[in-house]
């Protein structure tokens, strides 16, 4: 899962980035509004954490332009602006949550999980796929009702594939979901994560198919396949 943090307070941003990376998220940092607007227009993110008092372009304008482009990714405003009119204006512009600084990092991550869960699965944290059950809130997965332990990268790949079951996704799309711009992961690493997932899932009938030249396809369970 890839998150864009838009924050010009370097100390605060570093603390959030460190915490979220330890929790398994891929994180990019934009330190002004113009940079954030450019990245949001050209890159794929699953969520944005947006300050309002930004240099070059105010956070409210970043949000306004995002929604005018028709982009629906969840936006969590994290700001020191605590006036009622600011909160109302932010939510009216299309923010999904509005938080006043300071906030405990554990609570911030809980808000992130809630927003992404709402966007991916209609508020239900659990995604079922044949014998596989993934809980995005608890970050746990079961296979045939038995807990399955996955390293963080394999978990992230599976979390990316499950909502897209039945659709081809490219290595580059998976790669984007795994890492920010300050991290280096090769497409060979993606192949390795897929291979390890296959070894754990295919004996139970969960198949990830390689589509040559295009990417990977998590096949729908047999009882969900339509002619």
- For the chain of 227 residues, list the mean pLDDT of each consecutive stretch of 10: 91 91 86 93 89 92 91 90 86 89 88 75 69 81 90 86 86 77 73 92 92 90 55
Q: What are phi and psi of 122, to 5 degrees?
A: 65, 25
**Cβ atoms of 94 and 75 closer than 8 Å:** yes
From the options 1.25.40.10, 3.40.309.10, 3.60.70.12, 3.40.50.2300, give the CATH code of 2-121. 3.40.50.2300
> Which has the closest alpha carbon to 174: 183, 161, 184?
161
For residue 208, cis peptide bond before it (omega within 30 degrees of 0): no
What topology is assigned to 126-224 in CATH?
A: Arc Repressor Mutant, subunit A (1.10.10)
* Domain boundaries along the sequence of the chain: 2-121, 126-224
> Which has the closest alpha carbon to 51: 63, 42, 43, 40?
63
Q: Do domains 2-121 and 126-224 have the same CATH topology?
A: no
Question: What's the predicted TM-score (pTM) here?
Answer: 0.65
pLDDT at 135: 81
Q: What is the DSSP letter of 80?
A: S
pLDDT at 127: 81
Per the rule left: phi > 0, alpha: psi between -120 and 50, beta: everything else, 31 is: alpha
pLDDT at 124: 58
Total number of residues shown for the chain: 227
């Amino acid at each position: 899962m890839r998150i864009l943090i838009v924050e010009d307070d370097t100390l605060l941003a570093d603390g959030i980035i460190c915490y979220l990376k330890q929790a398994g998220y891929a994180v990019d940092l934009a330190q002004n509004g113009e940079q954030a607007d450019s990245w949001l227009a050209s890159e794929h993110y699953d969520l944005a954490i947006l300050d309002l008092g930004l240099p070059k372009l105010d956070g409210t304008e970043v949000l306004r332009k995002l929604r005018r482009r028709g982009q629906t990714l969840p936006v969590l405003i994290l700001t020191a602006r605590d006036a009622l009119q600011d909160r109302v204006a932010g939510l009216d512009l299309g923010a999904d949550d509005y938080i006043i600084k300071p906030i405990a990092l554990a609570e911030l991550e809980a808000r992130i999980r809630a927003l992404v869960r709402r966007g991916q699965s209609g508020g239900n944290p659990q995604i079922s796929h044949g014998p596989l059950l993934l809980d995005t809130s608890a970050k746990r997965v079961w296979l045939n009702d038995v807990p399955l332990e996955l390293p963080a990268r394999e978990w992230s790949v599976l979390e990316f594939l499950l909502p897209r079951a039945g659709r081809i996704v490219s290595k580059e799309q998976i790669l984007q979901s795994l890492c920010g711009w300050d991290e280096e992961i090769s497409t060979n690493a993606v192949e390795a994560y897929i291979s390890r997932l296959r070894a754990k899932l295919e004996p139970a009938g969960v198949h990830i198919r390689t589509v040559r030249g295009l990417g990977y396809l998590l096949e729908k369970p047999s009882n969900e396949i339509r002619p």
